[in-house]
Amino acid sequence: MASALKAYIANKIFTGENWISGHAIITEGGKIKELVPVGSLPSSIATDVFDNCMLAPAFIDLQIYGASGKLLAVYPETDSLVKLNAYGRKAGTAYCMPTVATNTIDVFYKCIDAIRDYWNGNGKGILGLHIEGPWINPAKRGAHIESLIHSPSLKEVDELLSYGKGVIKIITLAPEQCDKEIIDRILSDNIIISAGHSNATYEQAKTGFANGITAVTHLYNAMSPLQHRQPGLTGATLDDASVMASIIPDGHHVSYAAISIAKKVMGKRLFAITDGVTETIDGFYPHQLAGDKYEASGILSGSALTMEKALKNLVEYVGIELSEALRMCSLYPAQVIKMDRIMGRIAPGYNADIVVVDNGLSITSTNYSESE
């Protein structure tokens, strides 16, 4: 039996490339079928109309640790992923990458198991696992647990990747702590390597990029800074022509002026993440809400952002034009994980993941492809 057609109409549509008006989005079976002029839309198609609103691609968050009181590292179980998915979707995030900071191998394995169980139960919206550490530099550990940080052996890497094959999608590591043999082994499983929690020199960072590192984790935070004689990882990221970098636009991790500077230099290479955590008193990271951010033992440890709030901050406080801010929350993350042929745009053949945004940049309604 053919899937039912559904149409969506608003004052304007952001396709991921440009703005159009006077058109409807027609979806079928969880995919975008076509965009047609409103006047030619058949009356037989069920239609949702959103006045004084815009339609845009749903958001993608590539770094978030938990939600609703269930940090994945503390509760490595499917219910944590159910809550994480629901939390993100309320704020326009169709897909997220659950993240686990430096931890024991047992916790990593349990998180891998949880995601497999979630997928086997037909769970949606979870893209895989982002492992942040422990192969990082203790000098730039931030809130990470120093006693667990180390440079990996090839045997350790091979065992973790073999256990997590198909689940681990991103690994954040310090390029100066991992030799090319390690990098090559990770890349052989088509895992995205992101440089972060690193004290790399400019030269070490550029070598890492040349060896296949394609992303950088939370630009400015927990990395060697840009100095006029030692440009560091920050300078190498700004200077590279292709590497992409995430940034946390909450006003605490990075000043809005610093985001503006990075955006002017990097353009399409800069994208937003929430770095979102949730309150917990258990595990290695006892995140406690402190205003509108989280701290662990008095150290900034995560944000209270949603992608909806990230979008607002990028527009209202950084001064980024709305279309570009939307790309930073959708298209560019899709490009990082090489899924921009089905996500991050409103175009025929793409997943029907759509957010309805009002003039105040709040999410008023959503449609996600799996719910059709």
Residue 286: pLDDT band by 50, 70, 90 thresholds? confident
**250 annotated active-site:** no
23/161 same-domain check: no
Q: What is the mean pLDDT of the chain?
A: 96
* Same structural domain, 356 and 269: no
CATH of the domain at 355: 2.30.40.10
Q: 259 and 319, same structural domain?
A: yes
Percent of the chain having pLDDT more than 70? Answer: 99
Q: In the chain, how long is the greatest CA-to-CA distance?
A: 67
Same structural domain for residues 80 and 183? Answer: yes
Which domain covers residue 145, as residue numbers?
59-336
Query: Considering its fold, how many domains does the chain have in total?
Result: 2
Residue range 183-211: mean pLDDT, rounded: 98
CA end-to-end distance (rounded Å), the chain: 14
The reported pTM is 0.97
pLDDT tens-digit series, residues 38-49: 999 999 999 999
Predicted confidence (pLDDT) per residue in 239-268, tens digit? 999 999 999 999 999 999 999 999 999 999
Alpha carbon separation from 345 to 10, 15, 228 (Å, rounded)? 16, 5, 39
Which residues are registered as beta bridge partners of 56? 355
- 2 pLDDT exceeds 60? no
Shared-domain flag, residues 99 and 46: no
Could you report the per-residue pLDDT of 326-362, keeping only the tens digit for each?
999 999 999 999 999 999 999 999 999 999 999 999 9
Q: Peptide bond before 98: cis, by omega within 30 degrees of 0? A: no
The answer to whether the CB of 115 falls within 8 A of the CB of 147 is no
Kindly state the percentage of the chain with pLDDT values over 90. 93
Choose the catalytic residue: 61, 250, 275, 340. 275
Length of the chain: 372
> 84 and 175, same structural domain?
yes
331 and 278 in a common domain: yes
The model's confidence at residue 370, banded by pLDDT at 50, 70 and 90, is confident
CATH number of the domain encompassing residue 198: 3.20.20.140
Do 178 and 36 fall into the same domain? no
Residue-wise pLDDT for 124-148, tens only, equals 999 999 999 999 999 999 989 999 9
Residue 9 sits in the same domain as residue 146: no
Q: What is the pLDDT of residues 59-105, one digit of tens each?
A: 999 999 999 999 999 999 999 999 999 999 999 999 999 999 999 99
Residue 6, pLDDT score: 96
Burial status of residue 42 (CB atoms within 10 A of its CB: 0-12, 13-18, 19 or more): exposed
Residue-by-residue DSSP string for 12-23: EEE-SS-EE-SE
CA distance 111 to 98: 9
Tokens of 101: 């900071």
Taking 80 as the threshold, does the pLDDT of residue 371 lie above it?
A: no
Residues 86 and 47 grouped into a single domain: no
- Sequence-separated (6 or more) residues with CB below 8 Å from residue 54: 10, 11, 12, 13, 14, 356, 357
pLDDT in tens, 144-167: 999 999 999 999 999 999 999 999
In terms of domains, do 154 and 35 share one?
A: no
Are 260 and 353 in the same domain? Answer: no
Closest CA to 245 of 172, 308, 317: 172
pLDDT bin (cut points 50, 70, 90) of residue 1 is very low
